[in-house]
Structure 1
């Protein structure tokens, strides 16, 4: 968070970006290191200078305020996370002091009143970020209109790349050596975790489907073996082999259909529960951020209807084809041997 590498955008450039097609909001941010002092203890935190009105257009942080509120424009107040407040024994309306180092490498202080406490899904916000008004942060750090970054909110995902190109074009026209980039480029670790989760899901799906496939095949084979005498009687009465095989195929297909429907209904109930109600992490320790996992409160799932369709038809296809071999084996036997089969 060095103050030597700040971005300096004038009001005209900021308005040009905000008025672009597909842009729903922009939020300038100034990040800086600070030491938070409550009058007794001191802890290192990250200060985040924001323009509250613009910030609320881009982020939904205000929805996670559990006590007090976000500060209003013009107020000399701060907002901190619940975990940080508990650690430093702070509450709403208490005063804090931020010790900061200015651009000239001198020390300065920011005295603020706590306006609200946050409990956000991001543990970093709860544990070590102090939100302060952008103007106050700039004045204390002596950086004029400098910012660390500007967050741009896009209306639709498909408009991300065209918007990035348009913003970079503005920077090039102004001979500014800065670039806009997607959040995915700055969150490669998150994307890697997501890819690993997808791979894990595929492996689990293969294991589950393999178990189901073995169960279906076993059921059809046992059914064919138990009905060998019945098959012998069918052949003795004049039924052809392909007709006998088709009987087992129809039976197995019906088994696959009913089994698939039952599985989809149970799966639907389970997915509905995890998406609507969620799994409360308090059962296994609550705040998982203490263990290095950036998850709080509850874990929620997502709907994947393509998996329901795939599993349903997979069960039918497996049941259908797994019935052919045992049915053909039994139907191929001579009627007398089949009737007296033990």
Structure 2
């Protein structure tokens, strides 16, 4: 009996420059933390990153660190240390594994980049749009590290979004400026802010086009690929580096479509993924779906970093709209 032919997936070439981009991101942050050459802001995943970039901060995302802890399967060992402090096992595991990581002085950055610890912040900035827990998470670090804490309190469970909500969030974002100026010691530069907004808008356009490539039959990539390649849209938005990366990835996906390259050979089923990635099982799940000739082509998660409402001509208002029109913020009838 002849052996069953084993199929293998054709890798995405842009993965190599992605690894360099992420390494450069963390090394720059580590150097700044050690030398004091740049101010560092910790920011929630859908916080006002464009404002921070425009004010010269390097931006670190604890939620990204939580995902790394999950992907490396360190989270399970670290969460109990946060639980022992009183944090409920029922709240966000990003919070509890990150706090546990801090308490135990362990981070996946050490294994990946030989970086001893996450960068110490000069300021903590949150937005409660995606998660209410981030306010308490950052407040704990503010007390622990004696670092200033500022944030935006987004309206939740809303259907139609009107001008009152937009004006409120825009004013909250604008009110951050004087507090952030105290940290940087520099005056706010509107042109620099608009430049960061323009970069984020372009990143969103490119990332959206990448995700829409999955509409092709067969799909050139899967949800599991996208959870990795979304990293620049999360941690580097507001920078040219993110745009440069997606200007590499998008043509590659388009070429795969032209060449009929399938992410899942013999694709039979096309599926939608609801909710968060299961970070510690990404590879296992990817291989399982592949073996079943099933391609996960869409998700709400990867679309959460598309902010095509951003407009440098209306910087604060467009940021407010982009961060308030998120799917997760809306009420059930809207969804």
Q: TM-score range by the shorter chain?
A: under 0.3
TM-score (norm 1): 0.23
Rg bigger for which structure?
1
Q: Which structure is richer in relative contact order (CA contacts within 8 A, separation 6 or more)?
A: 2
When you count strand as a share of all residues, which structure comes out higher?
Answer: 1
TM-score (norm 2): 0.23
